[in-house]
């Protein structure tokens, strides 16, 4: 039997991490772990419980009562569960997106979620995507990828995604929000978004999803 390795995919917002990670996991018959969804769930719960996103202590207490689950669906997006409730759609809403970087900057929040992510990835056979996977969650991952793309193209990808959902959002506003979130994620004190030294950098500007997946597969030496 070939050894099941761990694959870490990091990068800024809309670089294509989840799309590519999910396809790769399917091809390899690995488990796909969307760590961003975990930070989004706790952010959603924080707002729902009227907790201030700056209140680390209250968020940590809340997190202890929250179980986060994933359900794979063949072609549709993965279902995200919060204590059994389907929160797949609500965790992508603007209010959550605009507060998630603040919630995920808390050291104790990260400590709890990183431990849960490490538990899921313990036996390998995972493709995990996020911001600190190659640097903090799975520093020993056999393959680390850092996906980037110009902010213009990333905003365009998000814009098209919104249009497909029937939402016509302002392009410049979207671009600014993406740039702001990247800045917060890259400048926080605890595990900021940074390329791991041993990660392979792929600039996906102008690259199709298929080409990105094929490039990553070419790095696989199993």
* Residues of this chain that bind ligand CDP (CB under 6 A): 11, 13-19, 35-37, 39-40, 100-101, 104, 130-133, 157, 161, 181, 185, 204, 207-209, 212
Judged by beta carbon, residue 20 or residue 28, the one nearer ligand CDP is 20
Structure tokens at 164: 């497909």
- Quote the CA–CA distance of 7 and 119 in Å, as a whole number: 15
Binding site annotation covers 12? Answer: yes
Binding site annotation covers 130? Answer: no
Please choose, from the candidates 196, 208, 220, 210, the residue with its C-alpha nearest in 3D space to the C-alpha of residue 11. Answer: 196
User: Which single residue is written with the structure tokens 């997106």?
Assistant: 97
Judged by beta carbon, residue 3 or residue 38, the one nearer ligand CDP is 38
| Shortest spacing between CB 67 and ligand CDP, in angstroms | 18
Judged by beta carbon, residue 169 or residue 207, the one nearer ligand CDP is 207
Judged by beta carbon, residue 3 or residue 147, the one nearer ligand CDP is 147
Strand pairing category for 79-82 and 68-71: antiparallel
- Quote the CA–CA distance of 159 and 84 in Å, as a whole number: 30
Judged by beta carbon, residue 19 or residue 195, the one nearer ligand CDP is 19
Strand partners, 71: 79
| Shortest spacing between CB 49 and ligand CDP, in angstroms | 19
| Shortest spacing between CB 24 and ligand CDP, in angstroms | 11
Strand partners, 33: 128
Q: How many CB atoms lie within 10 A of CB 111?
A: 11
User: Which single residue is written with the structure tokens 């050894």?
Assistant: 3
Binding site annotation covers 15? Answer: yes
Binding site annotation covers 13? Answer: yes
Structure tokens at 172: 């410049």
Ranked by CB distance to ligand CDP, the top (closest) residue is: 36
- Measure CA of the first residue to CA of the last residue in the chain; give whole Å: 10
| Shortest spacing between CB 1 and ligand CDP, in angstroms | 30
Binding site annotation covers 16? Answer: yes
DSSP-assigned letter for residue 45? H
Binding site annotation covers 191? Answer: no
Q: What angle do CA 101, 192, 125 make, to 5 degrees?
A: 95
Binding site annotation covers 48? Answer: no
Binding-site residues, in ranges, read 11-19
Binding-site residues for ATP, in ranges, read 11-19
């Amino acid at each position: 039997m070939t050894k099941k390795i761990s694959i870490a995919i990091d990068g800024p917002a809309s670089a294509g991490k989840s799309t590519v990670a999910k396809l790769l996991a399917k091809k390899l018959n690995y488990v796909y772990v969307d760590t961003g969804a975990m930070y989004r769930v706790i952010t959603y719960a924080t707002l729902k419980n009227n907790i201030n996103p700056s209140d680390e202590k209250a968020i940590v207490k809340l997190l202890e009562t929250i179980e986060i689950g994933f359900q794979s669906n063949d072609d549709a997006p993965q279902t995200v569960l919060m204590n059994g409730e389907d929160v797949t759609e609500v965790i992508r809403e603007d209010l959550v997106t605009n507060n998630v970087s603040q919630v995920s900057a808390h050291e104790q929040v990260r400590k709890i979620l990183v431990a849960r992510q490490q538990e899921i990835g313990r036996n390998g056979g995972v493709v995990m995507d996020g911001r600190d996977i190659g640097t903090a969650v799975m520093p020993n991952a056999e393959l680390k990828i850092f996906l980037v793309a110009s902010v213009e193209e990333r905003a365009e990808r998000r814009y098209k995604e919104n249009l497909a959902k029937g939402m016509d959002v302002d392009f410049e506003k979207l671009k600014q929000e993406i740039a702001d979130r990247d800045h917060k994620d890259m400048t926080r004190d605890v595990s900021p978004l940074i390329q791991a030294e041993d990660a392979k950098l792929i600039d996906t500007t102008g690259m199709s999803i298929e080409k990105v997946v094929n490039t990553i597969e070419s790095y696989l030496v199993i």
